[in-house]
Amino acid sequence: MKIISTRRSQVLAGRIAEILQKPLVDVRWTQFPDGEIYLRSGEISDRMVIVGSLVESDDLIELLLLTDVCSGSDITLVLPYMGYARQDKQFNPGEPLSARIIARTLGSGVSRVITVNLHEKSIVPFFGVPTIDTSLAGEMTSAIQKLSCNSPLILGPDIGAAELAQNIGAAGGWESDHLHKVRLSGVEVRIEPKEIPVKGRDVVIIDDIISTGGTQATAAAMLLEQGAASICTVCVHGVLATGAYTHLKSAGISQVISSDTIESACSGYTAARIIADALNR
Ligand code: R5P
pLDDT in tens, 170-189: 999 999 999 999 999 888 89
Domain assignment present for residue 152? The answer is: yes
Same domain, 187 and 111: no
Same domain, 42 and 130: yes
pLDDT value, residue 186: 84
Of 73, 78, 95, the residue nearest 86 (C-alpha): 95
- The protein residue whose alpha carbon is closest to atom 8 in ligand 1 is 209
Question: What pTM was estimated for this model as a whole?
Answer: 0.96
Same domain, 45 and 142: no
Name the catalytic one among 2, 146, 181, 199.
181
Domain assignment present for residue 86? The answer is: yes
pLDDT value, residue 132: 98
pLDDT value, residue 230: 97
In angstroms, rounded to a whole number, what is the distance separating the alpha carbons of residues 261 and 79?
Answer: 9
Same domain, 169 and 62: no
DSSP alpha helix (H) spans, 94-213: 98-107, 137-145, 162-172
For residue 209, the CA-to-ligand 1 centroid distance in Å is 5
pLDDT value, residue 193: 83
**Is the pLDDT assigned to residue 196 strictly greater than 90?**
no
- The protein residue whose alpha carbon is closest to atom 5 in ligand 1 is 209
Same domain, 130 and 180: no
Domain assignment present for residue 228? The answer is: yes
Mean pLDDT of the chain: 97
Q: What residue numbers bound the domain in which 102 lies?
A: 2-135+271-280
For the question of residue 89 being annotated catalytic, the response is no
Q: State the total domains in the chain.
A: 2
In angstroms, rounded to a whole number, what is the distance separating the alpha carbons of residues 145 and 139?
Answer: 10
